Amino acid sequence: MKQKAYAAAGVDIDLGNKVKATLPQLLASTHRREVLGKVGGFGGLFALDVKKYHQPILVSSVDGVGTKLKIAFTLDRHDTIGADLVNHCVNDIAVLGAEPLFFLDYLGTGKLEPHVFTDIIKGFARACAANGCALIGGETAQMPGFYQPGEYDVSGTIVGVVEKRKMLNGQKTVKRGDVVIGIASSGLHTNGYSLGRKIFFEQLGLKPTSRVPGLKGTIGQELLKEHISYGPVVQKLLKKFNRTGSPDQVKAFAHITGGGFVDNIPRVLPAKLDVVIHKGSWSMLPIFQIIAEQSGVPDEELYQVFNMGIGMVAIVTAAQAPAALKFIQAQKHDAWIIGEVVKGRGEARVV
């Protein structure tokens, strides 16, 4: 059979349709009762149950995975990328107290590779199911000549909901003397990879397949560790410590992403208060120990680029800090008291 003109130009619609035919099975685990219609329509449909809320506030966020994708390309391993993206987006709305409702993805590539597409979608589905989030649609774009061979880009949009009176606003509630709890990350998560790749592959002369003392696997395996979702533990914390009719004990959360401690924590602080983070107050992951000891990058910059082993911080009252810490640890997250709120100018300082 003669090849179709569009396929000869690099866009194989028939292959795209064949690959997408597997989507209903892949996405079945993410179904929520509020989802209407089928995946593949012009728009995803979600019937919000407004009876559950007095004043529902929709919370949305959009993000990508960044240059972490370069590691996936090199190792031809794509099963973690979808989960990275979902979990990052879940965390971004969790800091407001929102639970995720639905997720939409975008995948752009020069040539559609079925195994790559399937691995990415499986990651989306696995993470959405774990977070109770419906994957209701997306877009896969074949754009020959736009990407390097074997490369692609992904992004995702999440929509969640929070009751207005339960929405977190640290700028109004955080007080001097509150305590900062740090919750462990799995590694770099999805930020700092441009500098991380330069340190490991240019400066130290390593390859993704290299093994380094102190790491259980290869550098590539370490750098592809999935971005942790803190959504479930955040919801459980709020349910236990923030009771209706009583002052909130959990005041705020900050997702430690691009900008590290220095740029993310101030986003939830009042203008006249600072947070002081104490180095050495948590067990730093080996990957960050290597970066700190061998990169030559000043600590001041490291704590602004990387999460340094802390993926999320919670600001809680001093009275409830020990109980909150114990509760987080009981949810199988490593966590530590790493700082406190002091008088200042709305800044985060690492000392």
The tens digit of pLDDT for each residue in 215-226 reads 999 999 999 999
Tally of structural domains, the chain: 2
Report the pLDDT averaged over residues 44-48.
92
Q: Which residues contact 125 (CB under 8 A, 6 or more apart)?
A: 26, 27, 29, 30, 82, 135
Predicted confidence at residue 1, as pLDDT, reads 62
pLDDT per position as a tens digit, 259-293: 999 999 999 999 999 999 999 999 999 999 999 99
pLDDT per position as a tens digit, 79-93: 999 999 999 999 999
| 237 and 312 co-located in one domain | yes
Predicted confidence at residue 271, as pLDDT, reads 95
Name the residue range of residue 328's domain: 170-350
| 191 and 78 co-located in one domain | no
Predicted confidence at residue 13, as pLDDT, reads 78
At residue 2 the predicted structure's pLDDT band, cuts being 50, 70 and 90, is low
Which of 117, 140, 166 terminates a domain? The answer is 166
Report the pLDDT averaged over residues 332-341.
98
Predicted confidence at residue 247, as pLDDT, reads 86
Query: How high does pLDDT run on average in the chain?
Result: 94
Percent of the chain at pLDDT exceeding 90: 84
Query: Can you list the alpha helix ranges (DSSP code H) found in the chain?
Result: 5-8, 13-20, 23-27, 69-75, 81-94, 114-130, 170-173, 193-197, 219-223, 231-241, 260-264, 286-294, 299-305, 321-330
Predicted confidence at residue 275, as pLDDT, reads 98
| 157 and 235 co-located in one domain | no
